C-alpha cells in the first residue's frame, strides 16, 4: 500500500460576512448535548487512473494507481457530543452533494445518531461545492468570500484522495501542527455515507480507492443509481441537467453499469427508493454477510416532505423558502433511511447484520416494475402509505424531463374511491396502524418513525368527513 498524504487541519473557523458555516443543521444541537464546528483541511491530493492493462470493469474490482498530486484547501463540518463519555466511537462521514451547484448535506441532526452517541462529519470534497458552476457561482466562495475565499479544489479528479485525507484527520492522522477536529474524542470507526450524486462518488471510491486507503469501516449508499462516477473529469462535473433545457429532454435513461466490489472486509449497504430501482435492476447483488440492499416501493428520489424540510435551512442561508410542489411523491424515504442507519451502526459496532428486505417486483421483457390495481409497485419495503393507500404514489414522473424523474407522482384518490376502500376514517386508521406495525417488525422502520407516521395519518383530512 502506498504511503498516504496527510493534510493539515485548522480551525475552528469563525467570522465571515454571514457569521456562520454554510449548510449546517438548524436543529438546536445543544439541546441534544452536541456542538458544531467547522474546520479547514489543506494539503496535496493525488488523483487516480486504472492500472495500465486494466479497466473499470463490470465486477467492480477496479485496480487504480495514483499519478500526480495537486494542492487543495477545503472545509469539513463536525457535529459531535460535548461530553466525551457520551461518544460511541463512530463517525458518520458524509460526502457532500453538489448537484445543485452548492454544498449540500444532511444527517448532522439525525435522532438516530443522537441516540447512538455518534459524531457526524460533512466533507466538501468536490470543486463545485467550493467554486460553484461558472454560470451560477453558488459555491462556498460565492456565498461568503470573507470566510471561504482561501479555499480551492483544482478538480473532482482529486476528490477521492481529499475524502481519504479527511478520514485520516478524523482518525487523528492530520499533519504535524494541525488540530484535532474531534476535540480529543477517540474515533474507532468511520462509516462513509453519500446520497444520489454523492452515492455515485462513494461507489467509485469503494471500488477503486478503499483497497488502497483502507480508512473506511463501512459504506452506506442511499438513492444510488447503480453507477460510480468517472475517475477523470478534469474541470467538468457529471450533473443533473437544468429543467426545461434540451439536455434535460434528451438525457438518456439512467442505467446501472457495474457491481459494487464484493471482496472487501467492510459492510456495504444500499438503500434505494423506487426511482433508483429500474436503473439498479441489472446490477442488483444478493445479500451476504457483508452486503445489504433495500428498496422501498411507492417512494421516489425526492418527496414533497423532503423538499419542505429544507425550508428553514434555505431561509437562513439563502433568504427564501423553496415553493411547494403539489403532485410530487408524498411517501418520504426518511423512515427507511433512519432504520438503515440504525442497523448500519449496529453492524459496524457490534457485527449485527441488518435484516434482509423484499425487493420490488419486476415483470415482462424488457423488465418493468410490476404494479397493483392502484398503480403502486409490488414487493419491496412497504410503508403504510403504500400498503394502505389514499393516493397513487410512485416514481413515475409527472413530465418527461430528467428533473421530474426525481420527484415522481402523487395522485390522491377521489372521495368515492376512499369510501369504497375504507368506509370510515376509523377503519382507515386501524388498517394504517396495522401496516405501520407490520413494517416495523421487519426492521425496515423504527418504532419512533412508526409512531410519527400513525400520528400523521390521523391528522390527514381525507377521511374525516
pLDDT tens by residue, 362-399: 999 999 999 999 999 999 999 999 999 999 999 999 88
Closest CA to 202 of 181, 178, 218, 184: 218
Please tell me the least confidently modeled range out of 381-390, 399-408, 446-455.
399-408
Residues 6 or more apart whose Cβ sits within 8 Å of residue 354: 269, 292, 340, 343, 344, 346, 347, 443
Residue 237's pLDDT band, with cuts at 50, 70 and 90, is low
Contact in structure between 97 and 223 (CB atoms under 8 Å): no
Residue 247 has pLDDT above 70, yes or no: no
pLDDT band with cut points at 50, 70 and 90 for residue 283: very high
What pLDDT, on the 0 to 100 scale, is given for residue 249? 43
Confidence of residue 84 (pLDDT cuts 50, 70, 90): very high
Count helices and strands (H / E) in the chain: 17, 13
Q: How confident is the model at residue 181 (pLDDT cuts 50, 70, 90)?
A: very high
User: Average model confidence (pLDDT) for the chain?
Assistant: 92
Reply yes or no on whether the pLDDT at 248 is more than 60: no
One DSSP character per residue, 116-133 reads HT-EEEEE--SHHHHH--
Place of cell 438518456: 252
Distance CA(304)–CA(396), nearest Å, equals 14
pLDDT tens-digit profile of 288-340? 999 999 999 999 999 999 999 999 999 999 999 988 888 999 999 999 999 99
- Alpha-carbon distance of 448 to 15, in angstroms, equals 38
Please write down the HEC assignment for all residues of 193-213. Answer: EEECHHHHHHHHHHHHHHHHH
- pLDDT over 70 at 464, yes or no: no
Look at residue 317 and give its three-state secondary structure. helix
Q: Provide the Cα torsion 335, 339, 342, 348; round to 10°.
A: -130
More confident residue, 208 or 237: 208
Residues whose CB falls within 8 Å of the CB of residue 44, separated by 6 or more in sequence, listed in order:
5, 69, 70, 71, 72
Least confident of 14-18, 76-80, 230-234: 230-234
Residues in CB range of 83: below 8 A, 6 or more apart: 33
Sequence-distant (6+) residues with CB within 8 A of 63 are 50, 51, 54
Going from the C-alpha of 224 to that of each of 110, 272, 380, the distances in angstroms are 20, 6, 16
pLDDT at 250: 41
**CA-to-CA dists, residue 400 to 168, 249, 307, 396, 406, angstroms:** 43, 7, 20, 9, 11
DSSP letter (8 states) at residue 386: H
Instruction: Check: CB of residue 269 under 8 Å from CB of residue 354.
Output: yes
Of all residues in the chain, what percent carry a pLDDT higher than 70? 93
DSSP state letter for 172: T
Q: Model confidence at 120, in pLDDT bands (50, 70, 90)?
A: very high
Question: What pLDDT was estimated at residue 407?
Answer: 92
pLDDT interval class at 241 (50, 70, 90): very low
pLDDT at 441: 98
The percentage of residues in the chain with a pLDDT greater than 90, rounded to a whole number, is 85
pLDDT at residue 138, as a whole number: 87
pLDDT bin (cut points 50, 70, 90) of residue 173 is: low
* 3-state SS, residue 154: coil
- Which single residue is written with the C-alpha cell 449496529? 346
CA-based torsion, 190, 225, 139, 338: positive or negative: negative
Residue with C-alpha cell 408524498? 330
Contacting residues for 129 by C-beta, under 8 A, at least 6 apart: 74, 96, 98, 102, 103, 139, 140, 153
Q: Which of 158-172, 174-188, 247-261, 443-457 has the lowest mean pLDDT?
A: 247-261
Tell me the per-residue pLDDT of 33-65, one tens digit each, with 9 for 90 and over.
Answer: 999 999 999 999 999 999 999 999 999 999 999
Residues 6+ apart with CB under 8 A from 430: none
Distance CA 268, CA 332 (A): 23
Rounded to an integer, the average pLDDT of 186-205 is: 97
Q: 11 with 37: CB under 8 angstroms?
A: yes
Look up residue 173 and give its three cell numbers: 492522522
Work out the pLDDT band at 3, boundaries 50, 70, 90. low
Instruction: Say if residue 252's pLDDT is above 50.
Output: no
C-alpha cell at 257: 453499469
By C-alpha distance, which of 221, 230, 170 is closest to 194?
Answer: 221
* pLDDT exceeds 70 at position 182: yes
Threshold 0.75, pTM exceeds: yes
Q: Give me the pLDDT at residue 319, please.
A: 93
Instruction: Kindly calculate the radius of gyration of the chain based on its CA atoms and give it in whole angstroms.
Output: 22
Amino acid at each position: 500500500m502506498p504511503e498516504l498524504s496527510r493534510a493539515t487541519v485548522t480551525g475552528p473557523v469563525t467570522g465571515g460576512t454571514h457569521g456562520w458555516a454554510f449548510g449546517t443543521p438548524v436543529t438546536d444541537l445543544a439541546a441534544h448535548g452536541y456542538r458544531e464546528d467547522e474546520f479547514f483541511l489543506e494539503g496535496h491530493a493525488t488523483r487516480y487512473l486504472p492500472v495500465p492493462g486494466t479497466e473499470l470493469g463490470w465486477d467492480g474490482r477496479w485496480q487504480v494507481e495514483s499519478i500526480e498530486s495537486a494542492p487543495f484547501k477545503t472545509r469539513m463540518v463536525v457535529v459531535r457530543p460535548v461530553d466525551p463519555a457520551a461518544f460511541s466511537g463512530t463517525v458518520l462521514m458524509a460526502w457532500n452533494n453538489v448537484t445543485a451547484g452548492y454544498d449540500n448535506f444532511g444527517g448532522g441532526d439525525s435522532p438516530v445518531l443522537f441516540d447512538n452517541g455518534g459524531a457526524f462529519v460533512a466533507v466538501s470534497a468536490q470543486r463545485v461545492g467550493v467554486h460553484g458552476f461558472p454560470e451560477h457561482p453558488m459555491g462556498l466562495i460565492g456565498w461568503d468570500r470573507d470566510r471561504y475565499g482561501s479555499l480551492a479544489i483544482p478538480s473532482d479528479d482529486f476528490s477521492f484522495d481529499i475524502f481519504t485525507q479527511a478520514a485520516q484527520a478524523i482518525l487523528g492522522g492530520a499533519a504535524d501542527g494541525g488540530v484535532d477536529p474531534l476535540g480529543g474524542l477517540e474515533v474507532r470507526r468511520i462509516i462513509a455515507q453519500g446520497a444520489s450524486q454523492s452515492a455515485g462518488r462513494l461507489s467509485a471510491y469503494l471500488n477503486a480507492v478503499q483497497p488502497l486507503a483502507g480508512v473506511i469501516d463501512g459504506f452506506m449508499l442511499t438513492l444510488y443509481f447503480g453507477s460510480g462516477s468517472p475517475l477523470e473529469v478534469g474541470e467538468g462535473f457529471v450533473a443533473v441537467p437544468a429543467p426545461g433545457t434540451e439536455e434535460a429532454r434528451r438525457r438518456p435513461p439512467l442505467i446501472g453499469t457495474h457491481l459494487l466490489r464484493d471482496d472487501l472486509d467492510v459492510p456495504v449497504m444500499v438503500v434505494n427508493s423506487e426511482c433508483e430501482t429500474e436503473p439498479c435492476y441489472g446490477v442488483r447483488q444478493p445479500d451476504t454477510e457483508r452486503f445489504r440492499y433495500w428498496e422501498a416501493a411507492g417512494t421516489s428520489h425526492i418527496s414533497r416532505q423532503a423538499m419542505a424540510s429544507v425550508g428553514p435551512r434555505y431561509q437562513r442561508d439563502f433568504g427564501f423558502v423553496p415553493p411547494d410542489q403539489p403532485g410530487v411523491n408524498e411517501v418520504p424515504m426518511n423512515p427507511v433511511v433512519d432504520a438503515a442507519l440504525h442497523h448500519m451502526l449496529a453492524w459496524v459496532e457490534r457485527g449485527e447484520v441488518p435484516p434482509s428486505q423484499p425487493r420490488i417486483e419486476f415483470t415482462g421483457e424488457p423488465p418493468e416494475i410490476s404494479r397493483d390495481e392502484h398503480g403502486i409497485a409490488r414487493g419491496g419495503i412497504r410503508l403504510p402509505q403504500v400498503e394502505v393507500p389514499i393516493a397513487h404514489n410512485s416514481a413515475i414522473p409527472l413530465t418527461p424531463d430528467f428533473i421530474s424523474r426525481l420527484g415522481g407522482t402523487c395522485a390522491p384518490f377521489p372521495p368515492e374511491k376512499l369510501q369504497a376502500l375504507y368506509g370510515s376514517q376509523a377503519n382507515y386508521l386501524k388498517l394504517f396502524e396495522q401496516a405501520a406495525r407490520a413494517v416495523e417488525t421487519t426492521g425496515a422502520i423504527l418504532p419512533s418513525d412508526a409512531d410519527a407516521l400513525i400520528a400523521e395519518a390521523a391528522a390527514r383530512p381525507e377521511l374525516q368527513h
